[in-house]
Amino acid sequence: MHHFLNSHLYRRAIRALWISAIVLPVFVVGAARAQDADNTSARAHVFEFLNVVTNPRAAALGNAFTSMKNDPNAFFSNPATLSTLGQNDSLPIVRALGFGFTKYILDINEGFISYDQRMGDSGNGSFGAGVQYIDYGTFQGYDTKGLATGDFGAREFALSVGYSNIAPHNVHYGVSVKFISSSLVSGSSVANYSASGIAADAGLFYDLESALMTFGLSALNIGTQLKTYAGVQEALPFNLSLGISKKLERLPLTVHLAFHNLTRDREGRDLFFALNDFSFGGEFTLGKALRLRIGYENQKRRDLKLPTGSGLAGFSLGAGVVVKQYQFDYSFNSLGLAFQPLHRLGVGIAFY
Q: What is the pLDDT of residues 257-274, one digit of tens each?
A: 999 999 877 666 666 777
pLDDT at residue 10, rounded to an integer: 45
Q: Classify the phi-psi angles of 268: left when phi > 0, otherwise alpha if psi is within -120 to 50, otherwise beta.
A: left
The domains of the chain are located at 2-280
| Least confident stretch, 60-64, 140-144, 332-336 | 140-144
pLDDT at residue 29, rounded to an integer: 47
Q: What is the pLDDT of residues 203-231, one digit of tens each?
A: 999 999 999 999 999 999 999 999 998 78
pLDDT at residue 187, rounded to an integer: 61
Between CA 195 and CA 197 the distance in angstroms is 7
Query: How large is the average pLDDT for residues 140-166?
Result: 86
Which is more confident, 37 or 290?
Answer: 290
Q: What is the pLDDT of residues 292-323, one digit of tens each?
A: 999 999 999 998 888 888 899 999 999 999 99
Query: How large is the average pLDDT for residues 244-268?
Result: 89
Name the CA dihedral angle for 332, 335, 339, 344, rounded to a multiple of 10 degrees: -30
Cα distances (Å, whole numbers) of residue 350 to 81, 273, 289, 322, 323: 16, 41, 15, 11, 11
Q: What is the pTM of this model?
A: 0.83
Query: How large is the average pLDDT for residues 240-249?
Result: 96
